[in-house]
Amino acid sequence: MGAVIEQLTDVAGPAIVAVDFAQFSDDETVAKVLARSMAGHSVYLADPVAAMSVTPAGLGMADLAGGYAAELRRRNIEPVMVVGFCSAAALSLLLVAELRRLGQRPASVLVEPAWLTDEHIAADVREVREGLGATGAAPEISRDAVLGALRADVLAHLRADGLEGEDLELCATVLLDRYRAWFGFMFGTRELPVPVVDFPVTVLAGRHSPASAPPAVAADLCRLVRLPIEVSKVPRSDLTVATLRDLLGEPVSAVDSWP
């Protein structure tokens, strides 16, 4: 089904699962930061965008969360923490809920969570189309309309670069497969009902961040940790790593300042 759990470290220590993805930039991902910085832990990646690239278009996020939980159980991996980044926050909560249903109790942490709306998707569509040099009217925010517009934009962009024939089709396929996976994940997440959260959740956010608690979580179950750094630095900051270590009851002496 595509619910692949990738091991990022060779350490045989307590497991951390990052629900994360490579974006359209070259920025280092949260998962890679954890693999580099969380010494003594086995770090695993659950990448929903990668999963969407090899699964049927109708795959739902709840099914994907169940697939991840089943794969972890099959491999006898019981994570001590599940970290969800940005728009993967809702999926990470579903994964934690599935693991708890199986009798596990991982800590749930969200790093700069985003709760997707049509406005979020429209902003990403606009960014991608601008990168392709598109000038036409914005499409309706639906799967078919967005992917149809992007196909036309990609073909026009590649033809303007002088590609034709098999080269055109090959390059278009590579780009469109990536966009299909990305927006499939975004639409699938937006269509999720509000996750029922009946377990503790910690939200890590930078100063002035719009990040907030899950929409349907009791105040006494959610802890917001406001880090004294800019939003863009949170996914890759030593303070973020230190916060995670603190939540696991591990020493954080390598970090001088502490929120």
Q: How many domains does the chain have?
A: 2
Query: Mean of the per-residue pLDDT values for the chain?
Result: 90
Q: Are residues 29 and 96 in the same domain?
A: yes
Q: Are residues 10 and 107 in the same domain?
A: yes
Q: Does the residue 204 lie in any domain?
A: yes
Nearest to 111 by CA among 34, 183, 35: 34
pLDDT tens per residue across span 138-196:
999 999 999 999 999 999 999 999 999 999 999 999 999 999 999 999 999 999 877 77
Q: Are residues 126 and 166 in the same domain?
A: yes
Q: Does the residue 159 lie in any domain?
A: yes
Residue 69 scores a pLDDT above 70 = yes
Q: Are residues 84 and 124 in the same domain?
A: no
> Measuring CA to CA, how many Å separate 244 from each of 112, 116, 123, 248?
14, 25, 30, 6
Instruction: For residue 176, give its domain range.
Output: 118-190
Per-residue tokens: 218: 């009791």
User: Helix, strand, or coil here: 183?
Assistant: helix
CB-based contacts of 30: which residues, under 8 Å, 6+ apart? 18, 20, 83, 85, 111, 235, 236
Residue 256 scores a pLDDT above 50 = no
pTM for this prediction: 0.91
